[in-house]
Structure 1
Amino acid sequence: MKFTTNLKTSLILCFATMLLSVTAFAQASKNISVKSFNDISISSGMDLYLTQGNTENVVVKGSSDAIKDVIVEQSGTGIRIKYKEGVNWGRIFKGQSIKVYVTYKNLKSLSATGGSDVYTENTLKSDVLNLNASAGSDLKLSLAVKDLSLTVSGGSDAALKGSGENMQASASGG
């Protein structure tokens, strides 16, 4: 009888532990309304996924604890994606990644800093595009642009594929 009770207790504890670990890693999502923009800036080690489309929107995904501290500021034709002031970046090193999905109509400028990574979900098409990666950020983009300006510094990388007519590039600091 004692063995059966211990077995039942162990099974219940095991099931409860699995249930709690599944909910601990559950992804939350936050939709953010934005007006028309053509300039994006991202920081704080977040991953940015870009899709060119007919609408403009921002969706932030990650743990509910992490995404509550993400803000999207809009000023003129630019959006800035970052953590609230005073937020501890320690969650980045605990595997709590933030993924930001941005759909845009036209993009002229993109800046990534602070270990953020940027990816294209489809080919980014633009007449003029200014790219800037700094402080350990990485760009992995598919492009079709006429005039491209690229600045990479501070241990950042840029892996670009696609087509273009003119390119001005500079790299510094690692």
Structure 2
Amino acid sequence: MIDDDILKAASVLITRCKAQGEMIATAESCTGGLITGSLTAVDGSSSVVDCGFVTYSNEAKHHLIGVGNDLLEQFGAVSEPVARAMCEGALERAPNASIAVSVTGIAGPGGGTDTKPVGLVHFGCAGKDRSTVTYHEVFDGDRHAVRKATVLKAFELISDMLDQK
């Protein structure tokens, strides 16, 4: 069900988080819960995964994790300011998380524009007592490839946040 590459990366991340006493929250749009689902597919994830927010709609982004309607209107859901607000909002609302990652993008095959092409994903990663980081990339491939690349990059950003401690 979940790609072997993703499961291997999730297992490594779970081990690192356990060793460092960190708990993760996610705020997902284009992955629809795949990041959280991949983490929880690994044995022992309950000591590392706090919660996941699937915020596919703008209304969910606003009501569940506090993304300002002004940001959504000014920049659109697929943007750096929204990715930042998503991870910071998830970290604030998650009861036990010390790190939160967010993803918002256009997985395709439709929905892209000249300024926001299919494959564009914005990421945010926030940690307690750490600086929030953002990143974006345009991934190649079909919907499956974009979502897989997004999950793997999200794991990488969480790993980088662990290095900040």
Q: TM-score of the superposition, structure 2-length normalised?
A: 0.27
Bigger share in helix: 2
Report the structure number with the largest CA radius of gyration: 1
Bigger share in strand: 1
